[in-house]
Amino acid sequence: MTDAPTVGFPEGELGPVVRQTVTDFEQWVFVTFHQLSHYVRTNRFYGLLAFVVLIAGLTLAFEVDAGIATVRVQQLFRPSEYLSNYLVYTGLFVVLSAAFFGGDALSVDFSTGTGYYMLVLPIRRPVLLAGRYAAAALVTMAIVGVYYVFGTVGAVYFFGAGSIPWTLLEASYAIAAVFTLAALSVAFCISAFVRSPAAGVLVTVLALYVGFATLQGTIELAGFEPWFSLSYAGGAMAAVLDTDFVHLQTVPLGEDQYYTIWSATVSEGLEIMAGYVAVFLPLSAYLYQRKESTG
Amino acid sequence: MGSFELAGVSKSFRTGPPALTDISFRYEGAGAVGYLGPNGAGKTTTLKLLVGLLRPSAGHAYVNGVDPMVDRKQALWDVGALIETPEPYPTLNVLEALDAVGRARGLNRDDIDREVDRCHALLDLPPLGQRVGWLSKGQLQRVALASALMGNPSVLLLDEPTSGLDPAERVLVRRTLNQLKRDHLVFMSSHQMFEVSEVCDQLVFLDHGRVLLRDRVDRVAGRIRSREVDVEFDRRVDPAAMSGVRAVAADLSALSERRWRISFDGSDATRVRLLAACQSVAPVVQFANTSLLLEEAYLELIPRPAEDS
């Protein structure tokens, strides 16, 4: 630190400024916090949260209306079965959140003035990406967490707190976190490709929700296991809670005709998700690093 | 002291002619360098290359001796940049937007507060609690300029820093830049000749991606001999009374009852004779070139579109 006053500024308004070396990790933490502060104030965050609360609340309301006895019979008297069925929309909410918060996470730097603010700072682009990725993951997990809270409240109401399979529930939430990372990796990659933020969000939703589901169905019809599909891997979130889990189901369609349905095991699902993170996240970083502000 | 350098830099995009062709110059120390040229000349492209927003097709750009394509963090560590229209996240308030910049540049909490206060005093920032999304264009531009100044970086790269500002804000920014250039290296593109002549010590003229001229402002202005002056008398002057002036001038026209515009050959000798002739008509209140010398230099160097074809 120097005692010499800096020349050229109104006296008393500027003293020597100490600028410390900032590690990439410290910058990552601040970028995550900065991004998180932005995300939780956006209309898309409140909109998605309202959507999740609406779906979760309505589902719960209908079940309460049906009565405890009916729900218990429907769910084979198993709270894990109830949770597995109740949390069936987790994948949808993760995909929507990944699209909303990841679909334009990088393209925003090349289509709006945000890039001229953030990309001229002394921060490496992979650090920026990692901060935004972490913030998007945290927001998504918060939204999914609300859904899980509704599910847990329902399970406690119908089956009692003592019978809740807490470990399995935690495992399901942890798998949802991994699924979130995989979905965000794809979303970030799309975002690094496209220039328009709106296009990034739309393409992410189409790819993750419609594209994978269609592909999975087609491949299953052809009699193959869709082991490469992220939506297939997402089944592990419910599979971990499903006490009657079956990896392979054969459904008769007619005379000598069968339709085979595969469900990902927990380990298989996690492997697929990890594969998506391993491929798409570095690809996103590479594309983001090379992208130019030509606008 | 900071420095920036372009070493044989060319930049081409997928379509269109090259944006920059073999640009080389280097500045270091303190002072202000004006970057002048018509729209599309390559000014913003140059600034983007210096901060690593674009990759050179050939050559290298360096800031403080570091190529941003090689080590962006190190290159931009001591650089404040205002390129195009920077927009912090609209959901954040002014303080949060500046805080982010301070943290990225390694300032501690106390220094961030002091820097925000300094920028507030220098640039008359909008209320710090106001959301960025609600700021006017001028307010946003001042916040963007403040973000470039946060942490007191030694090099300031400014792309039309007074764009979108009202006259009072322009004066404020010019005053700030004049203070800053005493111990910072300022590289600014601008279309405002008055602003450049007020702030800059050195000039680079650019057109069609090529450097046409690099020199000190006073030398560039010294090359130009204005061929037109406006004279204002302290009273109404009849056209008939101007016959003595007309004899020296090439052309003469009345702008008002007291003001006249006189064209002449631009030489100092004729200028002296014109002034004497005017003073013999009536007391002269004002006798001045009709335009900035710098503006005339610009027009002389860079052909207007009609002449271009």
Q: How many domains does chain A have?
A: 1
Nearest by CB to A38, from B13, B48, B91: name it.
B91
Span A206-228, average pLDDT: 83
Task: Round to whole Å and give the CA distance between A285 and A125.
Answer: 8
Judge: B122–A13 Cβ closer than 8 Å, yes or no: yes
Report the alpha-carbon distance of residue B192 to residue A109 in Å, rounded: 28
Predicted pLDDT at A18: 66
CB-based contact B114 A17, cutoff 8 Å? yes
**Quick check: is A89 in a domain?**
yes
What does the pLDDT average to over A210-232? 83
Tell me what pLDDT residue B279 has: 93
> Does residue A195 form part of some domain?
yes
Q: Are B92 and B101 in contact (CB under 8 A)?
A: no
* 8 Å CB contact of A113 and B86: yes
Which residues of chain A have a CB within 8 Å of the CB of B121?
10, 13
Complex ipTM > 0.95: no
Position B307 scores a pLDDT of 46
Residue A159 lies in a domain: yes
- What mean pLDDT is predicted for residues A265-278? 92
Q: Closest Cα to residue B77, out of A65, A20, A86?
A: A20
Q: What CA–CA distances, in Å, run from A166 to A53, A145, A239, B14? A: 22, 14, 15, 57
pLDDT at site A128 = 96
Question: What residues in A contact B115, CB-CB < 8 Å?
Answer: 17
Asked if the structure places residue A81 within a domain, the reply is yes
Q: Considering only alpha carbons, which residue of chain A is nearest residue B151? A: A17
**Residue A11 clears pLDDT 50, i.e. is over it:** no
**Residues near B102 by beta carbon (within 8 Å), at least 6 away in sequence:** B111, B112, B115, B116, B150, B151
Give, for all 309 residues of chain B, the pLDDT tens digit.
789 999 999 999 988 899 999 999 999 999 999 999 888 889 999 999 999 999 999 999 999 999 999 999 999 999 999 998 899 999 999 999 999 999 999 898 889 999 999 998 888 899 999 999 999 988 999 999 999 999 999 999 999 998 888 888 889 889 999 999 998 999 999 888 888 888 999 999 999 999 988 888 878 776 667 788 889 999 999 888 999 999 988 889 999 989 999 998 888 889 999 999 999 999 999 988 876 667 777 777 776 655 444
pLDDT of residue A219: 84
Domains of chain B: 3-222 (3.40.50.300), 227-290 (3.30.70)
Can you give the residue range of the structural domain that contains A73?
24-290
For residue A235, pLDDT beyond 90: no
Contact in structure between A189 and A284 (CB atoms under 8 Å): yes
- DSSP letter for each residue of A81-117: HHHHHHGGGHHHHHHHHHHHHHTTTTTHHHHSTHHHH
Q: Do A117 and B97 touch (CB under 8 A)?
A: yes
Which residues lie closer than 8 Å to B226 by C-beta, 6 or more apart?
Answer: B266, B289, B290, B291, B293, B296
For residue A248, pLDDT beyond 50:
yes
pLDDT for position B306 = 54
Q: Answer whether residue A6 is part of any domain.
A: no
**pLDDT tens across A154-165, in order?**
999 988 888 888
How far apart (Å, rounded) are the C-alpha atoms in residues A47 and A60?
A: 20
**Contact, B204 vs B25, CB < 8 A?**
yes
- Report the residue of A11, A43, A109, A120 to disrupt the B interface, i.e. the one with the largest count of B CBs within 10 Å: A120
Distant-in-sequence contacts of A40-43, Cβ < 8 A, 24+ apart: A40/A139, A41/B91, A41/B92, A42/B91
Q: How far is Cα A179 from Cα A236, in angstroms, rounded to an integer?
A: 9
| Residue A264 scores a pLDDT above 90 | no
The per-residue DSSP string of B231-293 comes to EEESS---GGGGHHHHHH-SEEEESSSSEEEEE----HHHHHHHHHHHHHHS-EEEEEESS-H
Whole-number pLDDT of residue B304: 62
Cα–Cα distance list, B184 to A70, A108, B154, B257 (Å): 76, 31, 5, 48
Q: CB–CB of B84 and A113 under 8 A?
A: yes
**Residue A8 within a domain:** no
Per-residue model confidence as pLDDT tens digits over A59-75: 999 988 888 888 777 76
SS3 B205: strand
- pLDDT tens for A81-92 read 888 888 889 999
- Cβ distance A123 to B73 less than 8 Å, yes or no, reads yes
- Across chain A, where does the E strand assignment appear? 248-254, 257-262
Q: What is the pLDDT of residue A14?
A: 43
| pLDDT for res B303 | 67
- Residue B245 sits at the chain A interface (C-beta within 8 Å): no
Q: Which of residues 170-229 of B touch A (CB under 8 A)?
A: 179-184
From the list A140, A136, A131, A135, the residue with the least C-alpha distance to A31 is A131
Residues B53, A119: C-beta atoms closer than 8 Å: yes
